[in-house]
Structure 1
Amino acid sequence: MPTITKPLTPTTIGNLKPKTNRYPKSDGGCTGLFIEVMPSGSKIWRYRYTLNGERQSPVTIGSYPSITIEAARERGRKYAAMVAQGISPVTDAKKDRGAALALDTVKAFGVHWFETQIADKSEDYSKTTLRTLEKDIYPMIGNKPIGDVTSGDVLAICDKIKGRGSPQAALLARNVIKRLYDYAIDRQVVVTINPAKMLVARFIATQSSRERVLSPEEIGKVLRAVYLSDMVRPNKLALHLLCITMVRKSELRNAEWSEFDFEAGIWRIPAERMKKEKEHWVYLSTQAVGLFKELKALATSEVYVFPARHGREDKPICKTTLNQAIKILDMDVQHFVLHDFRRTASTHLHEMGMSSDAIEKALAHKIGGIKGIYNRALYAEERKKLLQLWADFVDAQIENGRTSIIGNFSRTE
């Protein structure tokens, strides 16, 4: 006997508690309608359907309780009627959401943006974003119509946060508003200008070297300048690798050929060379493998990947070599040191929604609590994915604005 799905009620929905991963609960009051419970506790109405014999991705109706049970069922029945005629409800669903949001406030649209775009990202990323919205953004502009916010409003938010001694939180608030408005513009919701995009990050807060995060444009500027300079080829490749492998400078310059398995795409850094005194595996992107193979072809040492060019002793390059190489570059990028590559990678990968734990593992940071007990293979697949994603992202920034041939580092299949 088939299981009968009961219609959802306010009590039933109220009893749905968040879990580590989002999960659906079907509504017996409308075929195809379900509510999805996010790890943050938000609840989103969606409608699943099959068109032309193929299961389609569910369409989003909206958040509960903003969209009531009856309103969600009404939408579900409307979309079911369209599907019965062989018509995809996707376009109508977007229009329905847009119509509901067109004249809404920043907070109303922010709630929608968070629930549909951010809530199912990594826990740290979603919590940080939500805290920024609720603590800094909504109190100042939450009640303003989304189309009325100016760059002056965003600057006022940033200045207030800086006033309490938190310049990095000010930058974070600017970035959250920027992403929210990017989404609003993409969805054609009233606004056509992003008020946060008009504010240059370095004018919001002066970053010290320990806080510096390169923008995508600055990543491109740095590496284009590297490849267009007259420094020796191994140093150019070293700086590129320092960016895309997320390792520390000391770990790279002391690298030995015996540590690499190019077939498996793994670099095993021994414990004695690691800050935490524990062996660290770097899952190499296709770009990193290609760069290391080029270095192998240029090798003048059977031991070291980056041998010193002078003297008879076989030893790695001096610890200041790469610092000096970057200092003499002609580039319009301020307050940048090599260690900022790691922070830059971490920041952008978090913004892409990658797992915070996987990022921390890739950086060889210690993860506290029970998670820190697991072996080195933990998050291996996620780390492979994020390091390849990061190398692809860096490639794209090098290509942006390139006017000279500096090499082909694109991902190859």
Structure 2
Amino acid sequence: QAKPCKLRDERGMYLLVQPTGARLFRMDYRRPGTGKRNTLALGVFPDVSLRQARERRDDARKLIADGIDPATRRQAGRLADAESFEAIAREWHEKHKAKWTPSYAEHLLRRLEVNVFPYIGSRPIAGLLAPDILAVLRRIEARGVIETAHRVHQYIALVFRYAVATGRATADPTPSLRGAIPTVPKVHFASIKEPGKIGQLLRDLDAYAGHPVTRAALQLAPLLFVRPGELRHAEWAEIDFDKAEWRIPAHKMKMRAPHIVPLSTQAVAILRELEPLTGRRQYVFPSLH
């Protein structure tokens, strides 16, 4: 058929059949207060059944009987959803995740999904106060994961700053929570505190009699000062002997920015010695198994 066709049901509801074949449940009514005619969408068939459409129609008619425009109520609900903490947090995450590694972005969002959204996610962010945030952090603290509580506090603060900057909140309540959560117990890793013993450590590394690939990695660690994971995943394609540089691509870095590590004469010599052993492989330090 060339024109839309209305198949009437009852109490103002009908099925609108479009020329494309789409079938849409609709309801005509007069808006409370103004008396102007309006049409309310009730769903698309068959995703919404006839029974479900009638239930939605009846709910709308109850609102009309109470002097409430169902279309206005629906718009207010959508606006509230858009202004909720979860909606704004996900928007903030989407805006910034390109700067993070995929694993870090996923881990951050998961922490919010587990620790925050179930408790304040559906609430309008502008109405959240410091006690609301503290209640969320107290739940985490009760599990004994104090560091996670502090991390989540930081994430919530960043979401609030984004909400303030985009006009969805007027203030950030998180600064007033400083000191409300116990500090993270400090754990000191084994370290050399006497400068004279550093030389002995370097001599011990040079005297290591294990696999030469492992020995090279141990010798490079104090020369390059990179994270162990970054050193372990170094690739030969990233090493520039002519410029004496190791160029770590952005996707390997936590902050998603490329990083250049200068190579000292000693570092270049170690890599040159290692090249005949692993130079044909992708990684400078491939698995030994």
| Shared fold (TM-score, shorter chain, > 0.5) | no
Q: Which one has the largest radius of gyration?
A: 2
**Bigger strand share:** 2
| TM-score after normalising by structure 2 | 0.44
Which gives a bigger RCO, structure 1 or 2 (Cα 8 Å, sep 6+)?
1
